[in-house]
């Protein structure tokens, strides 16, 4: 489903750079600044700096391609748009020639133990590394976790709502028009998973969170071995 058009855009701003103009057009098409940040795989604060600090030149080519995909190609899915953007984004280098660091999306665990981290296609392809600190911190704090994955419907071994498959109830399953399906594994109600156990799985996979989750799904008989995860979200909480 295409995003709903956004209204009440702020007026009266000074001259905008091209990245900000492109971001404005994407927002007019219904995407939030957070959505745009997910598409270019950067922190949302960077998108705001297109307007306030004249940043974003390195993302102009990617944003142009994304806008074309949205307006001419009818593509609205964030992971697909992220793949399109990734082809045109290159990491800048420092004066010494080293690859510059970028500010990724922050992960946060609140004092109550609640935390969430999610990644799309581009980050998943590189192992969902930004989720590793969240899982490690959850393990250190003795928390529980759950995760939601999105795969092609044919990648699952059990039909949605099957009691053989977690969650066993259809309200935790989201079916999409592109023949993919999101399923959640674990919750505060069912007890979820031991974060320490999953942290060990991630370590055993060389820090690759995607591989660790994929292996758990295969080992527990929930997906085909050649299935590909295209969206991953991890949630944490403190057990009662």
The one-digit pLDDT tens for each residue of the chain (240 residues) are 455 555 444 444 568 999 999 999 999 999 988 889 889 988 888 899 999 999 999 999 999 999 998 888 888 888 888 888 988 887 666 677 665 655 555 456 787 888 888 887 777 877 777 788 889 989 999 999 999 999 999 999 988 777 777 654 444 567 777 888 888 888 888 888 999 999 999 999 988 999 999 999 999 999 999 999 999 999 999 987
In this structure, what are the phi and psi dihedrals at residue 39, rounded to the nearest 5 degrees? Answer: -65, -40
Chain-centroid distance of CA 100 in Å reads 22
pTM, whole model, 2 decimals?
Answer: 0.55
148 bridge partner residues: 184, 233
Task: Enumerate the domain spans of the chain.
Answer: 18-86, 115-237
CB 100 within 8 A of CB 93: yes
For residue 60, the model assigns a pLDDT of 95
For residue 142, the model assigns a pLDDT of 94
CB 127 within 8 A of CB 209: yes
Q: How far apart are CA 183 and CA 58, in angstroms?
A: 35
Residue with the two structure tokens 């971001």: 23
């Amino acid at each position: 489903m295409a995003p709903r058009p956004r209204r009440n855009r702020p007026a009266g701003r000074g001259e905008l750079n091209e990245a900000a103009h492109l971001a404005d057009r994407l927002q007019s098409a219904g995407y939030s600044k957070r959505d745009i940040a997910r598409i270019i795989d950067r922190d949302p604060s960077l998108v705001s700096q297109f307007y306030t600090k004249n940043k974003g030149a390195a993302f102009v080519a990617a944003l142009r391609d994304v806008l074309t995909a949205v307006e001419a190609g009818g593509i609205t899915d964030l992971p697909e748009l992220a793949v399109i953007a990734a082809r045109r984004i290159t990491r800048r280098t420092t004066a010494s020639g080293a690859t510059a660091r970028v500010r990724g999306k922050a992960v946060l665990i609140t004092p109550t133990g609640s935390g969430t981290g999610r990644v799309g296609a581009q980050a998943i392809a590189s192992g969902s590394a930004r989720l590793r600190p969240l899982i490690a911190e959850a393990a250190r704090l003795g928390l529980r976790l759950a995760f939601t994955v999105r795969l092609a419907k044919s990648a699952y071994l059990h039909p949605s709502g099957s009691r053989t498959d977690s969650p066993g109830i259809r309200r935790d399953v989201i079916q999409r028009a592109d023949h993919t399906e999101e399923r959640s594994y674990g919750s505060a109600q069912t007890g979820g998973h031991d974060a320490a156990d999953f942290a060990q799985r991630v370590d055993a996979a060389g820090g690759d969170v995607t591989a660790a989750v994929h292996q758990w799904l295969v080992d527990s008989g929930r997906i085909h071995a050649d299935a590909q995860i295209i969206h991953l979200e991890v949630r944490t909480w403190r057990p009662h």
